[in-house]
C-alpha cells in the first residue's frame, strides 16, 4: 500500500519588513480581510503541528495544493520555506500554487519564474519532459505518477478565480498518457475545484474559469484519466466524482484553521494498485493540541 499525505490552504502570515508601499495594490483589501478574519483563524503553530504529524506518520509522499501564504509578501514565502525545508527533502514533497500564492501581479525574474517558483523550486519536479513551461509539474515514484496543474493567476480585488489554460492542459494529457504514468496510479493536483458549489456564496468570484475544459480533457480518454484528483481552495472536506467516471475528486480542508466546527485537517490517501482504497482525515483537536485520525465520515479512529 502507498500512503500519500495531502495538505492545503495554510495562509501563513508574516509582515516582517513590510512598508505601506507594499499595500498599494490588491493587498489593501486583503489587509482588511486579514484584520477581521484570517489573522485569527489561520495559525502557523497549527501548521507546525501538522508537519510534525506528517513526519511521524512516515507516509510515502506528501502533496500540497497551494495557498501556502496569505498576501504573497516575501517574508511569508521565507517563513514557509524554512518550515518546509526543515520537514521535507527534495523528493518527499510535491506542490502546486494557489491564488494567494499569486495574490498580486507576479514579478517574474529573467527565468520567467515568480517568487513562488523561485522559493519552492525543489518541490516542483519535472520528471516527465512534456512541456517547456514550468507547469504542469510531474513526479514519477514507485507505483504512482503525480501531475500538478497551476490554476493560480493574479486577479482583481475581491476575486479569487483560477485558470489552467489549453497549453498546460495538453501537456498534462501528454504526461498522464506517458508510459511511466499509464503503468502507475495517476494523481492529479490542482488548487481550484473542478466542480462548482452552487450553494456557496460568491462562487462566481472564486471558481475555476475553464473548469469545463479541464473536465472534458480529463475524461475524454479513459487510458489517460487520473485515478484521483485532489484540490483545496474551499477549506472544507468534500468528496465528489469526475463527471461520468468513478474517479474521486477530494477537497481537503484548510491545514492551519482554528475555528469551532472547522478545525485544521490534512488527508492521507491509501492506494493499492490503481485503486484508492481509503481516505484518512487527520483533524486538529485544540484540547490536546494534536491531529487525530478520523475516517472519511469524520468519525475518530480507535
Q: What is the pLDDT of residues 123-144, one digit of tens each?
A: 999 999 999 999 999 999 999 9
Instruction: Give the pLDDT confidence score for residue 35 in this predicted structure.
Output: 42
pTM to 2 decimals? 0.91
C-alpha pair distances (Å), 38 with each of 14, 22, 33, 193, 254:
12, 19, 7, 21, 12
Of 32, 108, 112, 114, nearest to 70 (Cα)? 32
Q: What is the CA radius of gyration of the chain?
A: 18
pLDDT, position 261: 81
Residue 220 has pLDDT above 60, yes or no: yes
CB-based contact 211:194 (threshold 8 Å): yes
Q: Is 74 helix (H, G, I), strand (E, B) or coil?
A: helix
- N-term to C-term CA, the chain: 21
What gap in Å lies between CA 250 and CA 237, rounded to an integer?
7
How confident is the model at residue 288, as a pLDDT? 95
Helices (H), 188-270: 211-219
Confidence of residue 56 (pLDDT cuts 50, 70, 90): very high
Q: How far apart are CA 288 and CA 108, in angstroms?
A: 43
What is the reported pLDDT for 196? 83
Give residue 38's pLDDT: 57
Task: For residue range 275-294, list pLDDT tens digits in order.
Answer: 999 999 999 999 999 999 99
Of 67, 85, 168, residue with least CA distance to 121: 85
Task: State residue 24's pLDDT score.
Answer: 46
Rounded alpha-carbon distances, angstroms, from residue 74 to 77, 162, 281, 288: 5, 22, 31, 33
Length of the chain in terms of residues written: 302
| Torsion sign, CA atoms 175, 206, 97, 67 | negative
Over 50: is that where the pLDDT of 6 sits? yes
- Assess contact for 7 and 255: CB atoms under 8 A: yes
What pLDDT sits at residue 259? Answer: 83
Indicate the range of 1-15, 158-172, 195-209 predicted with least confidence.
195-209
Confirm if 237 and 261 have CB atoms less than 8 A apart.
Answer: no
Nearest to 30 by CA among 17, 39, 19, 41: 39
My answer on whether omega of the bond before 136 falls inside 30° of 0, hence cis, is yes
- Cα torsion angle, 74, 75, 78, 83, sign: negative
Q: What is the CATH number of domain 2-294?
A: 3.60.21.10
pLDDT band at 200 (very low <50, low <70, confident <90, very high): low
**Does the structure show a pLDDT above 80 at 263?**
yes
| pLDDT > 70? residue 198 | no
Query: What confidence score (pLDDT) does residue 14 get?
Result: 60
Which of 41-45, 85-89, 251-255 is the least confident region? 41-45
Which residues, 6 or more positions from 129, have their beta carbon under 8 angstroms from its beta carbon?
none
Question: Looking at residue 36, what is its pLDDT?
Answer: 43
Beta bridge partners of residue 269, listed in sequence order:
4, 279
Residues 6+ apart with CB under 8 A from 31: 23, 71
Q: Between vectors from CA 61 to CA 189 and to CA 79, what angle results, nearest 5°?
A: 80
Amino acid at each position: 500500500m502507498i500512503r500519500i499525505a495531502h495538505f492545503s490552504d495554510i495562509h501563513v502570515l508574516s509582515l516582517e519588513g513590510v512598508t505601506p508601499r507594499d499595500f498599494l495594490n490588491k493587498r489593501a483589501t486583503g489587509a482588511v480581510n486579514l484584520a477581521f478574519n484570517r489573522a485569527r483563524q489561520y495559525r502557523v503553530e497549527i501548521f507546525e503541528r501538522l508537519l510534525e504529524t506528517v513526519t511521524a506518520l512516515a507516509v510515502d509522499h506528501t502533496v500540497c495544493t497551494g495557498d501556502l501564504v496569505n498576501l504573497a509578501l516575501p517574508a511569508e514565502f521565507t517563513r514557509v520555506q524554512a518550515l518546509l525545508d526543515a520537514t521535507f527533502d527534495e523528493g518527499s514533497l510535491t506542490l502546486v500554487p494557489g491564488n494567494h500564492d499569486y495574490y498580486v501581479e507576479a514579478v517574474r525574474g529573467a527565468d520567467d519564474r515568480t517568487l513562488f517558483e523561485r522559493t519552492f523550486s525543489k518541490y516542483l519536479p519535472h520528471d516527465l519532459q512534456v512541456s517547456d513551461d514550468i507547469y504542469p509539474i510531474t513526479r514519477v515514484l514507485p507505483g504512482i505518477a503525480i501531475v500538478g496543474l497551476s490554476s493560480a493567476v493574479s486577479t482583481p480585488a475581491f476575486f479569487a478565480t483560477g485558470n489552467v489554460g489549453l497549453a498546460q492542459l495538453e501537456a498534462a494529457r501528454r504526461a498522464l498518457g506517458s508510459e511511466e504514468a499509464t503503468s502507475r496510479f495517476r494523481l492529479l493536483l490542482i488548487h481550484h475545484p473542478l466542480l462548482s458549489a452552487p450553494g456557496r456564496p460568491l462562487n462566481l468570484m472564486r471558481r475555476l474559469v475553464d473548469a469545463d475544459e479541464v473536465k472534458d480533457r480529463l475524461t475524454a480518454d479513459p487510458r489517460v484519466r487520473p485515478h484521483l484528483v485532489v484540490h483545496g481552495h474551499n477549506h472544507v472536506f468534500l468528496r465528489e466524482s469526475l463527471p461520468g467516471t468513478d474517479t474521486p475528486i477530494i477537497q481537503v480542508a484548510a491545514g492551519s484553521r482554528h475555528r469551532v466546527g472547522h478545525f485544521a485537517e490534512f488527508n492521507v490517501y491509501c492506494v493499492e494498485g490503481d485503486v484508492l482504497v481509503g481516505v484518512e482525515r487527520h483533524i486538529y483537536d485544540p484540547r490536546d493540541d494534536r491531529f487525530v485520525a478520523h475516517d472519511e465520515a469524520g468519525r475518530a479512529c480507535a
